[in-house]
């Protein structure tokens, strides 16, 4: 189960009713933050999400409306006596920009582990010290598979995908067929390989067919690209920029390397996602809901985001 909170739904500049780009994913009491625009801390206070348990911060790109909230947030986390490492993922150049942004913070009681432009999937596992990245390898112990995609913007930009695995059902029939001692069923179900009475027992000896997990994808500040539909395919929730709602702004969207509602909806349709959440609205678009139909006529299950929008995504019953 994942909890999603849209902290800021604006792009370019903050508005009285709209903070800048930021989204929080909560998983087993820990948190992943995507982008940290100006106002993110205030949004967290208003929405009572907490911030001390943020382990991973994903930055789509290094424009100010996506990163200018970082110095304040990191400083507040420092003052909250946090000591656990924070991982920051971003495009090429992230390390240098963060060095400059965070230079006023003279004392840091926790490590900042910066990962630039990861090109291969990673896995995220909850440990005693929070959410940790590991090199990807296929196993039953994986929790979240993390992937990135290079996007098309005016500066290097990444899209993010999170796939929360679901463990297969336990099969009493397989356990009995493989003569697995009942005493170790629970450990095998958790993905452990167990040596019992000098015999090696593996998880596949008690597990049934694989089950579909939960997928959440985040794409912002980009033109549509051919690679996006496959990247977001089968997402339970596709969070996408909708900088311009009006089709008449198509030329402006092309010039500024952004998208219209209709273009985002076409990606959602092509990627066969379940729901589309639009965000990153232009300051000139005061009421994005007025343009919902431009997306809905292409893809029906569209949500117009707003600051404070929350959603819980659970495993589907089979």
Domain that holds residue 194: 169-209
- Regarding whether 111 and 8 lie in a shared domain, the answer is yes
* Per-residue pLDDT tens digits for 152-202: 999 999 999 999 988 888 999 999 999 999 999 999 988 889 999 999 999
- Regarding whether 180 and 49 lie in a shared domain, the answer is no
* Per-residue pLDDT tens digits for 57-111: 999 999 999 999 999 999 999 999 899 999 999 999 999 999 999 999 988 999 9
- Regarding whether 97 and 78 lie in a shared domain, the answer is yes
Contact 127, 108 (CB under 8 A): no
Domain count, the chain: 2
**CATH number of the domain that 42 lies in?**
3.60.15.10
- Paired residues of 237 in beta bridges: 216
- Alpha-carbon distance of 160 to 153, in angstroms, equals 15
**What is the SS3 assignment for 185?**
helix
pLDDT at 264 over 70: yes
**What pLDDT is attached to residue 140?**
54
- Regarding whether 292 and 198 lie in a shared domain, the answer is no
Confidence class of residue 125 from pLDDT cuts 50, 70 and 90? confident
Residue 318 counted as domain residue:
no
Confidence class of residue 138 from pLDDT cuts 50, 70 and 90? low
**What pLDDT is attached to residue 68?**
97
Quote the pTM value.
0.90
Residue 262 counted as domain residue:
yes
Residue 191 counted as domain residue:
yes
Contact 109, 83 (CB under 8 A): yes
Contact 55, 31 (CB under 8 A): yes
- Regarding whether 297 and 245 lie in a shared domain, the answer is yes
- Alpha-carbon distance of 74 to 82, in angstroms, equals 10
Which of 101, 70, 200 lies closest to 192, judged by CA?
200
Tell me the percentage of the chain whose pLDDT exceeds 90: 83
Q: Is 134 annotated as a binding residue?
A: no
Q: Which residues are catalytically annotated?
A: 65
- Regarding whether 155 and 216 lie in a shared domain, the answer is yes
Q: Is 197 annotated as a binding residue?
A: no
Q: Is 65 annotated as a binding residue?
A: yes
Residue 199 counted as domain residue:
yes
- Regarding whether 155 and 42 lie in a shared domain, the answer is yes
């Amino acid at each position: 189960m994942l909890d999603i909170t849209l902290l800021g739904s604006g792009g370019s500049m903050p508005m009285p009713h709209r903070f800048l780009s930021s989204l929080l994913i909560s998983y087993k009491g820990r948190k992943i933050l995507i982008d940290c625009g100006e106002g993110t801390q205030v949004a967290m206070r208003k929405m009572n999400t907490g911030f001390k348990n943020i382990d991973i911060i994903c930055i789509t790109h290094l424009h100010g409306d996506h990163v200018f909230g970082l110095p304040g947030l990191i400083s507040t986390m420092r003052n909250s006596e946090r000591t656990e490492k924070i991982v920051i993922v971003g495009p090429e150049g992230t390390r240098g920009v963060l060095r400059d942004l965070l230079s006023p913070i003279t004392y840091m009681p926790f490590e900042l582990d910066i990962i630039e432009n990861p090109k291969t999937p990673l896995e995220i596992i909850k440990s005693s010290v929070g959410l940790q990245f590991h090199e990807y390898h296929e196993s039953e112990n994986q929790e979240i598979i993390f992937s990135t995609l290079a996007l098309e913007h005016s500066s290097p930009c990444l899209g993010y995908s999170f796939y929360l695995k679901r463990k297969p059902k336990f099969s009493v029939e397989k356990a009995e067929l493989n003569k697995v001692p009942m005493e170790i069923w629970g450990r095998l179900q958790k993905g452990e390989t167990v040596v019992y009475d000098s015999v090696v027992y593996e998880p596949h000896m008690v597990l049934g067919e694989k089950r579909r997990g939960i997928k959440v994808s985040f794409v912002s500040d980009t033109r549509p690209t051919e690679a996006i539909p496959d990247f977001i395919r089968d997402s339970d929730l596709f969070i996408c920029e909708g900088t311009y709602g009006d089709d008449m702004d198509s030329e402006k969207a092309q010039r500024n390397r952004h998208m219209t509602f209709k273009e985002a909806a076409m990606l959602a349709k092509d990627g066969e996602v379940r729901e589309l959440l639009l965000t990153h609205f232009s300051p000139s678009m005061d009421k994005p809901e007025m343009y919902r139909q431009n997306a809905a006529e292409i893809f029906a299950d569209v949500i117009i985001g707003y600051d404070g929008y929350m959603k819980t995504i659970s495993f589907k019953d089979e």
